[in-house]
Amino acid sequence: MQAACAISPQTLPSPQACSKARPRPPEIDARTHMLLTRPITLTILRLAVPNATVMMVQILVGLLEVFFVSRAGVDALAGVAPVFPLVSLVVAIAQGALGGGFVTTVARALGTGRTSEASEYVWYAVLLGVPLGLVTTAVMLVAGPALYAHMGVSGQALDIAVSYSFTIFAGAVLIWLFNLLTAVVRGTGNLQVPVIVVCGGTLILIPLSPLLILITGGGGAAWPLCEVTW
């Protein structure tokens, strides 16, 4: 089949251009075919359910942590309170900001047929996650106690805050790696794996969280939370 030649008043097609064969259109995979042909409402709901499930589970994890810590006393709750927003900030940056970039980049590479290039982004995620995690750990280990003291935390609550902070930010590398690699997986269109991982971690947290929190008086809240975050 020959390529169609558009004729305009300004330019005329050359014989060479008209003689070129039109390239064969790329084959459409099943997922792309679904996006193009299925009803838009059902398609959006189908794509939204896994992400909504992950967000709901993460919210429930936070509520469970607060409930279990509150059973250990007011000092434990006051010690965990200033640390948890910082953990949420790190997760939001890793999962939403940089993670969102990985999602779109991997999806764009796969959409244009550059499968080998998409596979390389796994290593980019590792190369970014390791140094960013080490920096996060170093900053919080050095500046954490002073930061919490400036927030107004003192006494036993400050000791619990420092213990909780040291425990969870010691694994900052794993927090970064988990969220960036999960973003790469989401970029491939596979939304089931993140749901399985997060829900599986939550099943570990439910019995482990109250046990460690009540034994350590609040500082142990970081260990089950690390299980879910990692």
What is the per-residue pLDDT for 134? 96
Q: Is 2 helix (H, G, I), strand (E, B) or coil?
A: strand
Task: State whether the Cα torsion 147-151-155-159 is positive or negative.
Answer: negative
* Full-model pTM: 0.73
* Structure tokens, 164: 């909780």
What is the per-residue pLDDT for 192? 82
* Structure tokens, 214: 């009540």
- Residues 162, 149: contact at Cβ < 8 Å? no
What is the per-residue pLDDT for 215? 63
Q: Is 201 helix (H, G, I), strand (E, B) or coil?
A: helix
Residue with tokens 């930061």: 147
* pLDDT by residue, tens only, the chain of 230 residues: 444 444 444 554 455 545 455 555 556 667 666 767 878 888 888 878 888 888 888 788 878 877 877 777 788 888 888 888 898 899 889 988 898 899 889 988 888 888 888 888 999 999 999 999 999 999 999 999 999 999 888 888 888 888 888 888 988 999 999 899 988 988 888 888 888 888 887 888 777 777 776 665 555 555 445 544 54
For 112, residues 6+ apart whose C-beta sits below 8 A from its C-beta are none
